[in-house]
Structure 1
């Protein structure tokens, strides 16, 4: 691997009017640093968001996922409530509008959360609480085709996300396999399919509140209705839909691994107006719980000197321990599940101890 890659230039001072586009196919050989890798690192450091094309996922599979997403949310309310997340210690299942919390305010969306389909870990007194995140999904009897499409999507998107992670490592002059152990089995990736109902102008427009993502990489598919916004030095940047392209952003765990060279960026979703609906499919590529700790990459000096250290929000502290960090995010977002299945962690929230959760 080349050690003579040029230093990444500083962020531009002029405001951006659109996200850049990365073609994963152009990154080519994962063992060789190219100008395309240098561009990837620059974009990820400057704004932390980009469109991803050339990902290799067939458009027919994308169309099936978009169709079945709409079919799920068209189910009767009682069918969705039968698989409510509040019934799952693994934080899997349906959440109605206002049921998830971001920065202490309800998000005006309905969603169903999935994860890797794995057996639950036996909960003995000495078992760390965060192993409760592993387990089976909940599936609606009224839509049997959903299970096959979701599990296929988890597999397909995992492969694309790993290719992209390896490209990032090459861009930072690391071996492409440097984080393979971090994303090894048992996998801990998550998927949300989401519906944002329209809101009247007199109501809150918090589809999702201002936040950062907690994993390594997020790969998001949007429909034709906008609403995603990314924070920049010049204000909020709209991220309009791009057909069959993912919107990719850096998660906090990749920020930790690079000592802040790559930074997770703040974003939000503004609700559509009354009469409209927005649908999206969000895949969160995350470290395996088995890996325990996020390793710190040994960046070459010309990159290390530009690493700013991970940025921790006092209201949402970062932990290098993977399970602790993952459970913290779930507990803070789904208070009903936390109170029922994680009373100790819920009590820490209730006692307003942000240093713990």
Structure 2
């Protein structure tokens, strides 16, 4: 794969619609808002979200700290490496995360809601190890408070948006509150995409779907995100202080495929250009166990095609099983160290496809 070859087929950049969440502040606009949200979610699955109410001062602060994290010396980042713990929290260097067994050319810091680790017990499912504390760089003590504030702010936006989705689908707005109750499992990635030389891979992130309920993505002014549609790949240009929203696989499961988790990817910047983004993954609590199936109104249920399940990346209604599957496939070093049984299964699956699986290579 040559550098930036992925970008070539992108279509009209104006195709992504805009939703203004502040319209919900006016009861007279609710019906139109929900009708438009339902249509956009069904037809596109990706949209910009404005009017979210998060203070721009907090946005600037988190953006500044994101750059500061990746400016830390390599030794500081290595001390909080993701392979240090079984919780998949911490730093990953360029090429250290995989999408479909191909290295993504980005570095990132995985964080989430601060939770205590679950004490090991005989017969305990492996996915309980996903719950645990974050790793914070001691060289940047202000990061912890800012990130926890960001998690609270984005959670509030995501909850409001989820309630709007449910209303738009003829459901009680709080129908899925049991999935997102404490102890929470929402995740955050702060990400740096370094520019890649011509002639090299341009896989900032390979084509994939997100596994949670909703993703709220904040980007800088450098493009690269692309979404796959019936017309092919379309660019998603930056829109200042707006979130890019996409539907995750768990919401696809809950709606029996009426809502679709869209395939998307990121093309690496050109040489000398850096791209930064902050991705919030609004995800079900591990304590909720399973994704329920919503009883959609008849006219919507007729349009539900059932969830898509890739044989190489199957969907599971059980929350912990599905969440662990995705983490293991992306971080082979953590899988090899803390989940040897599951790592052996991944090796067997790769061998059946004629591929080698070596965590130490990353």
TM-score interval for Structure 1 and Structure 2 normalised by the shorter chain: over 0.9
- Partner of residue 191, structure 2: 194
Answering whether residue 32 of structure 2 is matched by residue 60 of structure 1, we say: no
Match of 2:38 in 1: 41
1:225-270 deviations in Å (ceiling 9; x for gaps):
0000000111111001101000000000000000000000000000
Q: 1:17: how far off?
A: 3.5
CA distance in 2, matches of 1:232, 1:140: 39
Residue in 1 aligned with 2:357? none
Which shifted more, 346-355 or 127-136?
346-355
The one of 215, 233, 236 aligned to 2:233: 236
Report the secondary structure of 2:299's partner residue: helix
Contact 1:173-1:299 at 8 Å conserved across structures: yes
Structure 1's unaligned 5+ residue stretches are 1-13
Instruction: State yes or no: 1:51 paired with 2:72.
Output: no
Distance 1:30 1:159 in 2: 19
What SS class does the counterpart of residue 296 from structure 1 fall into?
Answer: coil
Residue 39 of structure 1 aligns to a residue in which SS? helix
TM-score, length-normalised on structure 2? 0.92
- In 1, the alpha carbon distance for the partners of 2:243 and 2:276 equals 14
1:261-317 superposed Cα distances (whole Å, 9 cap, x missing partner):
000000000000110000000000000000000000000001100111001111110
Partner of 2:333: 336
TM-score w.r.t. structure 1 length?
A: 0.93
Label 1:30 to 1:251 Cα distance change in 2 as closer, same or farther (>3 A).
Answer: farther
Structure-2 change in CA distance of 1:121 and 1:276 (3 Å): same
| 1:67-82 superposed matches below 5 A | 67-82=64-79
In the alignment, what sits opposite 2:214? 217
The 5 Å alignment of 1:156-195 reads 156-195=153-192
Decide which of 274, 295, 298 is 2:295's aligned counterpart.
Answer: 298
Contact 2:12/2:234 (<8 A) preserved: no
| Runs of 4+ that moved beyond 2 A | 14-18, 27-33
In the alignment, is the contact (CA less than 8 A) between 1:314 and 1:354 conserved in 2?
Answer: no
Q: Which has the higher helix share?
A: 2
Q: Which residue is equivalent to 1:109?
A: 106
Residues 338-357 of structure 1 aligned to structure 2 (within 5 Å): 338-352=335-349
1:265-284 equivalent positions in 2, closer than 5 A: 265-284=262-281
Secondary structure in 2 aligned to 1:351? Answer: helix
1:167–1:29 Cα change, 3 Å = farther
Whether the 8 Å contact between 1:30 and 1:176 is mirrored in structure 2 is: no
Q: Distance in 2 between matches of 1:32 and 1:205?
A: 43
Runs (5+) with no aligned partner, structure 2 = 1-10, 353-362
Kindly indicate whether residue 124 of structure 2 is the aligned counterpart of residue 124 of structure 1. Answer: no
Displacement after TM superposition at 1:124 (Å): 1.1
Compute the displacement of 1:354 (Å).
11
Deviations 1:106-157 (A, max 9, x none): 0000000001101000011221111101000000011001111111111111
What does residue 137 of structure 1 align with?
A: 134
| Aligned match of 1:258 | 255
Counterpart of 1:312 in structure 2 is 309
Q: In 2 relative to 1, CA 346–32 (structure 1 residues): closer, same or farther, beyond 3 Å?
A: farther
